[in-house]
Amino acid sequence: MKKDIILAGVGGQGILTIATIIGEAAAKAGVNLKQAEVHGMSQRGGDVQSTLRLSTEPIYSDLIREGSADLIISMEPMEALRYVPYLVEQGWVVTSSHPYKNIPNYPDEQQIVEELESLPHTVMLPIEDLARQNNMPKSANVVLLGMAARYIEILSPEELRESIKRVFASKGEAVVEMNLRAFDLGLNAQCAQ
C-alpha cells in the first residue's frame, strides 16, 4: 500500500505539526516514509508545504509528481487549490473552508469554493470555528488531521491518536488531552458529513 500526501497552508497554522504527527505514527507503525518541506517564509503569513510519501514498500524519493498525490490536506482553501494539479483523478482534498487572507489580491472566495467543490472528492469544514467553539483555538490543525484521518488509510485513526499523545507529551497532559479532543472533533465531524 502507498499513500502520497501534500500538506499545505500558511506559516503559523500548524502544517508542520500535522506532518510531525503523521511521520511519527508512520515510524512507530513501521511504515516507510519520505518527507520534504518547503517554507515560503519563516514567519507567519508565508506559504508552507510538506510532502509525505508513505508506503509498505521501499520509497526512493520524497518528490510527488503532478497527478500522483492521493490526498491534499490544507489549512487554507486557496493553498489547497494551488496543489490540485498534483492530485490523482480520484484523490481527496480535505481543507478548511476559511481563507487566510495574507495577500492584498486574494482571489474571490466563492470562486475558490466552487472550484474545490467541482472536484470529485472534497471535504471542507470551518475548522477554526469548530476549534474556537470547543475552547481549543490553537488546535484547528489537529481538527483538520482528524477530518483527514479516514483518507490516510495506511495509518489508522488510532495510530494517529497514539502519535498525538507522543508528540505532545512534553507539553503536559492538558495539552495532550486538548489535542486528542481536537482530533476526535474532526474525525467525528467528518464522519457526520
| Percent of the chain as helix, strand, coil, to the nearest 5 | 45, 25, 30
Q: Identify the residue with better confidence: 190 or 178.
A: 178
Distance CA 178, CA 167 (A): 13
Give yes or no for a contact between 151 and 114, defined as CB atoms under 8 angstroms apart.
no
* Rounded mean pLDDT, 8-26: 93
Give yes or no for a contact between 138 and 109, defined as CB atoms under 8 angstroms apart.
no
Write the pLDDT tens digit of every residue in 69-82.
999 999 999 999 99
- Residue for cell digits 472550484? 115
Write the pLDDT tens digit of every residue in 136-175.
999 999 999 999 999 999 999 999 999 999 999 999 999 9
- What are the residue ranges spanned by the domains of the chain? 2-192
110 three-state secondary structure: helix
Where does 36-193 have alpha helices with state H?
77-82, 109-117, 127-133, 140-152, 157-168, 173-192
Which of the four pLDDT bands, split at 50, 70 and 90, describes residue 102? confident
Where does 30-107 have alpha helices with state H?
77-82
pTM to 2 decimals?
0.93
On the question of pLDDT at 192 being above 60, the answer is no
Write the pLDDT tens digit of every residue in 142-152.
999 999 999 99
- The CATH class of 2-192 is alpha beta
Q: Which of 187, 156, 4, 170 is nearest to 87 (CA)?
A: 4
Write the pLDDT tens digit of every residue in 29-66.
999 999 997 755 545 567 788 999 999 999 999 999 99
